[in-house]
């Protein structure tokens, strides 16, 4: 346990003299988080009060070395549970020196889509599964070094020693999310020992990605204090062990209204025509997870069903019964960038030209 030492508390108790520490957070070129700190001389009222900043994009796979400056543009503010007080976390978008969005800035495009369809009031509830590893990065929590625990069964929502591993991290993360203002809706222990899930949502529009990414940031920071590694690998252990997904529950206002099941079925029909386009942006190594086993639908085939956890899309039992609500897309892998969307070849070409 590195940074929870009492020695540190002595310094953290010192007066900040009215200055604010702002942790600027961004997504790098390989879908990992980065952050660095800036001192502000007053508390910002909104993102409009926050200065842009920059970083060395050649160190994050976001720019070439000979033209390495990438701009950080503040997009959303959260409270900082680590520093407390008026200190903040600032989720940023990344831009090139000529003002175009960096090729890895998927939020820029997602925000436009969300604005275009704002009147449909899209809600997202994302179930983030993840695996905790010992500092060696190879041994999941609760697993014997180089060996295996007993088979899956007692671990899902488990209670008691030898059934759940890492509860302290989960509890610390849950409270950190509530403090930060992340719309976390719950947590549970997963089927594979050492694997957990938290849910964010329902979030409307672009908030879904912002809240998911900040929740991931908080999880990684909390895990630092315990010297534990967080993995979003969709199939962290090959074989008869569950993979990790990011089930995405989705609804529009029309789906939530009386008789909304019709809108849900219409959406599923449209989704069925774009299956492989969706899979293309649903995370790396998802083929290792979507095998048609371990509560997944097969990657090469679109399917849906009421209460079916072996389908691509599940309509929850209570939704079918009430005739309204939402659908669950079970395909996204744990390592998705939630801002990404499928693009036609032509759109992708235009996009690459522009960035």
Residues of the shown chain interacting with ligand ADP in the complex, contacts defined by CB under 6 A: 123-125, 127, 185, 199, 201-202, 247, 249-251, 256, 325-326, 328
Question: At its nearest, how many Å lie between Mn ion and the CB of residue 247?
Answer: 4
**N- to C-terminal Cα separation, the chain:** 42
Q: Decide if residue 329 touches Mn ion (CB under 5 A).
A: no
Question: At its nearest, how many Å lie between Mn ion and the CB of residue 84?
Answer: 28
Take residue 21 and report the two structure tokens written for it. 């520490």
Binding-site size for Mn ion (CB under 5 A) equals: 3
Question: Which listed option, Mn ion, ligand ADP, none, makes contact with residue 250 (CB within 5 to 8 Å by class)?
Answer: ligand ADP
Measure the CA–CA gap between 99 and 113, rounded to whole angstroms. Answer: 20
**Residue nearest to Mn ion as judged by C-beta position:** 247
| Rg of the chain over all Cα atoms, to the nearest angstrom | 21
Q: Decide if residue 34 touches Mn ion (CB under 5 A).
A: no
Question: At its nearest, how many Å lie between ligand ADP and the CB of residue 105?
Answer: 25
Q: Decide if residue 197 touches Mn ion (CB under 5 A).
A: yes
Considering only residues 297-316, where is the footprint of Mn ion by CB under 5 A? none
Is residue 278 a contact partner of residue 342, using CB atoms and an 8 Å limit?
yes
Q: Is 214 helix (H, G, I), strand (E, B) or coil?
A: helix
Question: At its nearest, how many Å lie between Mn ion and the CB of residue 208?
Answer: 15
Question: At its nearest, how many Å lie between Mn ion and the CB of residue 29?
Answer: 19
Place of tokens 């800036």: 38
Please select the residue that binds Mn ion; options are 34, 211, 247, 324, rule is CB under 5 A. 247
Using the minimum distance from each CB to ligand ADP, give the nearer residue, 256 or 278: 256
Take residue 142 and report the two structure tokens written for it. 């609760």
CA proximity to 280, closest of 231, 237, 208, 333: 333
Measure the CA–CA gap between 182 and 176, rounded to whole angstroms. Answer: 9
Is residue 238 a contact partner of residue 283, using CB atoms and an 8 Å limit?
no
Task: Name the residues that contact Mn ion, by CB under 5 A.
Answer: 127, 197, 247
């Amino acid at each position: 346990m590195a940074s929870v030492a009492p020695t540190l508390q002595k310094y953290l108790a010192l007066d900040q003299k009215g200055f604010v520490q702002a942790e600027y957070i961004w997504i790098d070129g390989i879908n990992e988080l980065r952050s660095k700190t800036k001192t502000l001389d007053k508390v910002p009222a909104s993102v409009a009060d926050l200065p842009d900043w920059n970083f060395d994009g050649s160190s994050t796979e976001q720019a070439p070395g000979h033209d390495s400056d990438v701009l950080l543009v503040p997009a959303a503010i959260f409270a900082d549970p680590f520093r407390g007080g008026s200190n903040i976390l600032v989720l940023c978008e990344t831009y090139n020196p000529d003002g175009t969005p960096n090729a890895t800035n998927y939020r820029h495009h997602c925000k436009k889509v969300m604005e275009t369809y704002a009147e449909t009031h899209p809600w997202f509830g994302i179930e983030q599964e993840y695996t905790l590893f010992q500092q060696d990065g190879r041994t999941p929590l609760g697993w014997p070094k180089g060996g295996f625990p007993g088979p899956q069964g007692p671990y899902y929502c488990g209670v008691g020693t030898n059934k759940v591993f890492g509860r302290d991290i989960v509890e610390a993360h849950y409270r950190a999310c509530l403090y930060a203002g992340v719309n976390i809706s719950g947590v549970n222990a997963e089927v594979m020992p050492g694997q957990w899930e938290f849910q964010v949502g329902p979030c409307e529009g672009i908030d879904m990605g912002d809240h998911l990414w900040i929740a991931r940031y908080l999880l990684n920071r909390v895990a630092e204090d315990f010297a534990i590694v967080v993995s979003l690998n969709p199939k962290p252990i090959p074989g008869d062990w569950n993979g990790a997904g990011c089930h995405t529950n989705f609804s529009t206002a029309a789906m939530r209204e009386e008789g909304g099941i019709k809108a849900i079925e219409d959406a599923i029909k449209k989704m069925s025509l774009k299956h492989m386009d969706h899979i293309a942006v649903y995370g790396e190594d998802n083929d290792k997870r979507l095998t048609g086993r371990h509560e997944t639908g097969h990657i090469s085939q679109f399917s849906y069903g009421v209460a079916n956890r072996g389908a691509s899309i599940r309509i929850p039992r209570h939704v079918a019964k009430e005739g309204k609500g939402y659908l669950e897309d079970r395909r996204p892998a744990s390592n998705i960038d939630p801002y990404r969307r499928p693009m036609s070849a032509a759109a992708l070409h235009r996009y690459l030209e522009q960035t």
